[in-house]
Structure 1
Amino acid sequence: MRRPPGRATLLLVVAALLALLGAGNAYAAGYRYWSFWEGDGGKGWTYATQGPSSVRPDDGTVQGFRFSVSEDSQDSAQPRRAPDFGTVCAGTPAEDGLKRIALVIDPGTAADAPDGEEPPAPRTACALVAPDASTAEALASVAKPLRYDSAAMLCAISGYPRSGCGEQVGARPETAKPDGAATASATEGAQDASGDGGPSVGVLAGIGAVLVLGVAAVLRARRRR
C-alpha cells in the first residue's frame, strides 16, 4: 500500500506560507509628498511632529522640507543639506522686531518626481518675519507659490509639483528606500493605510486559507494510515 503523503503535504503548506509572507513584506505602497523637518541644533534633522502652520520657530531656527516618495515617517528622506543657520542666514543681518528663520528646501530626485516633471535644484533661504510668524508664513515669504489641500497639507512649494498632493504611488521593493531614511515617532500628512507597514489583509487571509487547507490535508492523510 502506498504511504499517504502526510509529510510532503505539510512541507508544501510551509513553503506556501513562506511564499505568502515574502510577498507581503517584499513590496509596500508609497506616498509622494513634502515632508517637514526641524534642525536639531546643527546636529541633523528631526521629523516634525506638527505641521508648518502650527510651528512658530524661534529666531535662529532651521526648518527643512523634502519632497520624496516614502511609506511613512520611518523611511522618509531628509533634506540633503545640513541645517546650518550660520551659512543660510549669513547674508541677512538681524533686525529689531523681526526674527530670522533658515529654510532648506529640497525638491528631491527625478525618481521621486511625478510623471512629466523635473525637480528644481535644492535651495536655501533666510526668511525675515514677524516674531510670532509660523514656519508656513516664513516659507511663504521666500518660496511662493505654495499650494495646500483642504486638510491644510502642504502640496507644493514654489509651484512644485504642479498637481497632486500626498497621492499613493505604485508598490516598490522594500529595499528601494529613499536616501537619508529618518527615524521618527510621528508623521503628518500621507501615511500608509495599513498603519504599521505589515502584510495586507489580503495576504493574511491567504495565509489563513492555506493553513486551514494544509491542516485538513494532514488530518485526512493520517486517518488513511
Structure 2
Amino acid sequence: MTRRLAPLLLAALVLIAGAGPAQAAGYRYWSFWDRDGDHWTYATQGPSMARPSDGDVQGFRFSVSEDSGDAARPRGTAEFAAICAGTPAKEGTKRVALVLDFGTAADAPSGEAPPAGRTACARVSPDATTADALAAVAKPLRYDTSALLCAIAGYPKTGCGEQVAPRDEGAGASSQQRKSAAGKDDGGPSAGLVTGVAIVAALAAAAAWQSRRRRNANP
C-alpha cells in the first residue's frame, strides 16, 4: 500500500511546489476619475451621466488594468485654479478642469505611441455632462455601440476596452500595477497550494487507516 501511495504523494508535493498565483488578464481602456481634495477617486458614473459643478476637476487615464481597484490614476497637475487660470468665469456657464493622461508606451496598442498628457478648461452650459465638457476641448472622441468611451483626441486609433493577455509584472507594468500585483500575491495561499495540501492530508489518512487495518487483521 505504501509503495502504491508514494507516486501520488510525490505528485501532490510537486503540485504544491509549483503552485503560484494566477495572473488575471487586464483590459485596455480609458478610466474616468473625480478629484476629491488632493487625491483621485474612481468615478461612480460614466462621463455621459456625470454632471460636474463649476470648479470641479475630473481626469481620464488610458492604461491596462484588471479592474477599478487596479486602474492607474491620472498624473500631472490637477488644480482648478491653475488649469482654468486663462478661462474667466462667465454668467450662464460653468468651468470644468480636465486632466488627460494618455498613459505609457507599455500600455499603448501595438503600433501607437501615447501623446503627451495635457490639461484643459472646458466652459460649458450649466447642465452639461462630463462628456459634453470633454467634447468641447478634446475632439475627436470615439465611442462604441454601448456608449463606452474608446478614444480621446483620437487616441487610440483603434480598439475599445479589449482584453490584454497577462504579462510579466516586472517588465512594462506601471508602478501602480506592480504594487497591486505584489499585494495580491501576499494575500494568501493559492488554490493549487490548498488543493495540494488537501491531497497530502487525504493520502496520509488513507495510509494510516490501511496500516491499522492490517495490524488488526494480523494480531
Q: So what's the TM-score if we normalise by structure 2?
A: 0.79
2:18 alignment counterpart:
19
- Give secondary structure in 1 for the equivalent of 2:154: coil
Match of 2:91 among 88, 91, 96: 96
- Give secondary structure in 1 for the equivalent of 2:113: coil
CA distance in 2, matches of 1:71, 1:215: 36
Match of 2:34 among 32, 38, 45: 38
Task: Name which structure has the greater RCO, CA cutoff 8 Å, separation 6+.
Answer: 1
Gaps of 5+ in 2: 178-183, 215-219
Q: Could you say which structure has the larger radius of gyration?
A: 2
CA distance in 2, matches of 1:111, 1:118: 9
CA distance in 2, matches of 1:47, 1:31: 16
| 1:181-220 equivalence runs, <5 A | 215=202, 219=206
Task: Tell me the C-alpha RMSD between the 2 structures.
Answer: 3.2
CA distance in 1, matches of 2:28, 2:110: 12
| 1:13-162 equivalence runs, <5 A | 13-20=12-19, 22=20, 25-41=21-37, 43-162=38-157
- Give secondary structure in 2 for the equivalent of 1:67: strand
Q: Which amino acid aligns with 1:99?
A: K
Using the TM superposition, give the Cα deviation of residue 150 of structure 1 relative to its aligned residue in structure 2, in angstroms. Answer: 1.1
- Contact 2:9-2:200 within 8 A present in 1 as well: no
Gaps of 5+ in 1: 182-196
Query: Against the structure 1 CA distance between its residues 10 and 140, is the aligned structure 2 distance closer, same or farther, given a 3 Å change threshold?
Result: same
- Equivalenced residue count is 201
- Contact 1:155-1:166 within 8 A present in 2 as well: yes
Using the TM superposition, give the Cα deviation of residue 75 of structure 1 relative to its aligned residue in structure 2, in angstroms. Answer: 1.1
Using the TM superposition, give the Cα deviation of residue 44 of structure 1 relative to its aligned residue in structure 2, in angstroms. Answer: 1.1
CA distance in 1, matches of 2:159, 2:166: 18
- Give secondary structure in 2 for the equivalent of 1:102: strand
2:9 alignment counterpart:
10
